[in-house]
Amino acid sequence: MNNINRRMLLKAGALAPLTAAVPVFATSGGNDRQAAPAPDADTVRAGQGVTRTLARYLVGAQYEDLPEQVRKEGTRTLFNWVGVAVGGSHHETVDRAVAALAPFAAPSQAHLLGRSERFDIMNAAFVNGVASHVFDFDDTHLKTIIHPAGPVVSALLALSEYHPVSGRDFLNAVVLGVETECRIGNAVYPNHYDIGWHITGTAGVFGSAAATGKVLGLSEQQMVWALGLAASQPVGLRESFGSMNKSFNPGRAAANGLFAALLAARDFTSSDAMIEAKRGWANVLSTKQDYGQITDGLGEHYEAALNTYKPFACGIVIHPALDAAIKLRNQYHLQPAQIASVALKVHPLVLELTGKKAPQTGLEGKFSIYHAVAIALVQGAAGERQFSDQAVHDPVVVALRDKVTATVDPAIKPEQVDMTMTLADGRTLHKFITHAVGSLEVPMSDAQLEAKFADLAKDILPDAQVRQLMGACWNVAQLQDAAQIARLAVPAHDA
């Protein structure tokens, strides 16, 4: 949207200015409705009033309420998301999505990060969500294996180009969206995930609705409806892992949550108990419901502060094995020909999620413990280039892949691996990883995140623009217009 069109829309009332006390989307119907009394803690734990309690918190939560540590992690979440979204923007998956949607994606309201095209905000949210997840290099809430930023930031940034929002309000909404999806995920994990749902999509839609609803200025009742409409749109099955469909899930969750918030802003109603009701989201989609995980300590402790960032571009359960392989390779200066066998003891989830023995595409390679360990031993890295179609067919990697075995050991935790390597000369090497690099216990530093961002963006944006974009992300709370990030994240002639 150019400046002339924006001024015309502002004058006509179709857009709310940054300084508006009540955004135009927050219509009078929901605001005038008498709010229900706040449920007490016992009522919530009994499975009543959960949706309303969460909505009430979201409507009242302000940037000033966020502890400094939470603001910092929210900024890191945004920073990492922008890097992976730009980096994934020209993957074949994104190209196909853009080609499919371009005839229908109008008017041009929002940028597709890293690309020249502009789409309407709904389709932009979807495509940017796909791009941010297609490398499987995005953030992870380890307690639930949710990738929080994809559904939340994809929707929020697209909306910010149409409905202006300050950097402070944007960052507050990021944190609240992440907090929402992770708390809801906590309430049903692992049972919900074990059934086969892809929790990033199914819980992520709530994060998108909460974040976009916050910047739209929804009333409490409208936020209840937004969460209810989000509950009606669960998306994502684990069967999709290893295909383009996996990145579809956070992209669709982003668009679905935005869809819910926009409808709620116009008083499109839902049930007031769509999360907790007998036939609501939690009871239909899971055999476990712990509602205290959603409502206890709201505004006191933050799941958003527990986000982590991947140093390796693949499924998170493989990361301990990659850490072990790279450390042994570097410590002993190993060459592939020296390695006779590699034996892994792993948590059951590792083979359930990443047991593909002969991946045929790079996307499948991201879910193969065998390929991941082999490529890490050959190349000493596990970034996006190590999970290309070419990499999974490299004869040296394939030969070493056949020497890797993995055995389930119930004593091994999801964040651990026990690796024993036998060399051709008879030596035996051993490495036990308790917490892999990138975990909460061994987090990626800001400098490591910057190196990751720069590597992902370097072939898409000029170096100077990459540095400018990184600066805008780090300083998001000081931006007058958060949409500046979107404009900096595309080739300069397309901004």
Q: How far apart are CA 77 and CA 141, in angstroms?
A: 11
Q: How far apart are CA 153 and CA 66, in angstroms?
A: 18
Q: What is the pLDDT of residue 34?
A: 54
Asked whether 481 and 163 are in contact (CB, 8 A), the reply is no
Tokens of 39: 């449920």
Asked whether 451 and 445 are in contact (CB, 8 A), the reply is no
Cα 40–chain centre separation: 32
The single-letter DSSP state of residue 350 is H
Q: What is the pLDDT of residue 47?
A: 73
- Residue 30: C-alpha distances to residues 33, 175, 228 (Å): 5, 24, 14
Q: Which residues pair with 111 in a beta bridge?
A: 118
- The angle at the Cα of 322, spanning 251 to 373, to the nearest 5 degrees, equals 100
Burial 6-19, CB ≥16 within 10 A → b, else e: beeeeeeeebbeee
Tokens of 492: 């300069």
Average pLDDT over residues 374-380: 98
Nearest CA to 412 out of 349, 472, 469, 363 is that of: 349
User: Could you give the count of Cα atoms lying within 13 Å of 44 in the half-sphere of its Cβ?
Assistant: 20
pLDDT classification of 494: cutoffs 50, 70, 90: low
Pairing mode of beta strands 118-119, 110-111: antiparallel
Asked, as a colleague might, if the bond just before 148 is cis with ω within 30 of 0, I would say no
Residue 25 in this model has a pLDDT that exceeds 80: no
Q: What is the 3-state secondary structure (H, E, C) of 19-42?
A: CCCCCCCCCHHHHHCCCCCCCCHH
Q: How far apart are CA 143 and CA 192, in angstroms?
A: 13
For the chain, what percentages of helix, strand and coil (3-state, to nearest 5) are there? 55, 10, 35
Average pLDDT over residues 218-234: 98
Residue 290 in this model has a pLDDT that exceeds 80: yes
- Average pLDDT over the chain reads 93
3 state DSSP class of 273: coil
Residue 372 in this model has a pLDDT that exceeds 60: yes
Average pLDDT over residues 25-39: 57
- With a CB cutoff of 8 Å and minimum separation 6, the contacts of 72 are none
Q: What is the pLDDT of residues 453-484, one digit of tens each?
A: 999 999 999 999 999 999 999 999 999 999 99
Average pLDDT over residues 13-29: 41
Q: How far apart are CA 133 and CA 123, in angstroms?
A: 16
Q: What is the pLDDT of residue 193?
A: 97
Q: Which domains does the chain have, with CATH numbers?
A: 3-309+472-494 (1.10.4100.10), 316-433 (3.30.1330.120)
Length of the chain equals: 495
- Say which residue the tokens 């609501």 belong to: 280
Q: What is the pLDDT of residue 106?
A: 84
Q: What is the pLDDT of residue 250?
A: 98
Determine phi and psi for 133, rounding to 5 degrees: -110, -15
DSSP element (H, E) containing 305: none
Asked, as a colleague might, if the bond just before 359 is cis with ω within 30 of 0, I would say no
Q: What is the pLDDT of residue 210?
A: 99
Per cent of the chain over pLDDT 70 is 91
Q: What is the pLDDT of residues 87-102, one digit of tens each?
A: 999 999 999 999 999 9
Q: How far apart are CA 310 and CA 319, in angstroms?
A: 8
Q: What is the pLDDT of residues 320-329, one digit of tens each?
A: 999 999 999 9
Residue 8 in this model has a pLDDT that exceeds 50: no
Q: What is the pLDDT of residue 353?
A: 94
Q: How far apart are CA 25 and CA 40, in angstroms?
A: 30
Q: What is the pLDDT of residues 426-444, one digit of tens each?
A: 999 999 999 999 999 999 9
Q: How far apart are CA 85 and CA 62, in angstroms?
A: 27
Nearest-10 crossing angle of helices 50-60, 199-215:
50
pLDDT classification of 43: cutoffs 50, 70, 90: low
The single-letter DSSP state of residue 475 is T
Q: What is the pLDDT of residues 125-181, one digit of tens each?
A: 999 999 999 999 999 999 999 999 999 999 999 999 999 999 999 999 999 999 999
User: One-letter amino acid identity for 107?
Assistant: P
- Residue 33: C-alpha distances to residues 30, 60, 221, 225, 368 (Å): 5, 17, 7, 12, 53
Sign of CA dihedral 46, 39, 296, 249: positive
